[in-house]
Amino acid sequence: MLGNDARWLVQSHFDHPRHGSPPNPKSESSMKRILTKIIVILAVTTTLAADSPLPAVAPFDAQQARFHQESWAKHLGQPLHATNTLGMSLVLIPPGEFMMGGSRELREETAAWADTKRQLPAGVERTRIEIDEQPQHRVRLTQPFRIGATEVTVGQFRRLSSRLIM
């Protein structure tokens, strides 16, 4: 059972204008989920400067993700999108946390779908999915970084590799 201190922490988090309005928790389990998210936010923010925006802690929707990206771009004084010398479009990824790997249900669903495609011998894709998507674990990004907005093209790879060989 959550104590008064934990309930105060949940409420005070949402009393701050930066955090939005509080949810209306109906159960002890929803209070625990909210408190867990707050603890994660506090853990991530201990590595960030005091004036940094809040970290992006999943789950969040596309609109919230965009808000986090724009907040961090403004904070860093950089554009949200940038282009490197190879012409690759890069997007800013803010600090935060998410779960990597698939749940058992998702792995089963994906493996069943892959079995219907039969592009590889029976069971090969299912085994790869089971190995690659587990164990599910929490990932914490402590610094913002940029990542390609799309896959690397053959042309971009050739330009990069020709620079490395010289």
Better pLDDT: 141 or 7: 141
| One domain, residues 32 and 73 | no
Whether residues 41 and 66 fall in one domain: no
| Same domain, residue pair 40 and 92 | no
Token pair recorded at residue 57: 């802690």
Supply the pTM of this predicted model. 0.60
pLDDT of residue 139: 92
Q: List the beta bridge partners of residue 93.
A: 145
Tokens linked to 52: 């940094």
pLDDT of residue 31: 58
Residue 91: pLDDT band with limits 50, 70, 90: very high
Residues 140 and 71 both lie in one domain: yes
> Is residue 17, in this structure, part of any structural domain at all?
yes
94 and 146 assigned to the same domain: yes
Does position 22 have pLDDT exceeding 80, yes or no?
Answer: no
Q: Please report which confidence band the pLDDT of residue 133 belongs to, taking 50, 70 and 90 as the band edges.
A: confident
Residue 155 forms part of a structural domain: no
- Whether residue 9 is contained in a domain is answered as yes
* DSSP secondary structure letters along 14-72: HHSGGG-SPP---SHHHHHHHHHHHHHHHHHHTTS-TTSPPPEESS--HHHHHHHHHHH
- Which residue bears the tokens 């674990």? 137
Structural domain for 15, as ranges: 1-46
Q: Could you give the CA distance from residue 80 to residue 90 in angstroms, rounded to a whole number?
A: 8
Lowest-pLDDT range of 11-20, 93-102, 119-128:
11-20
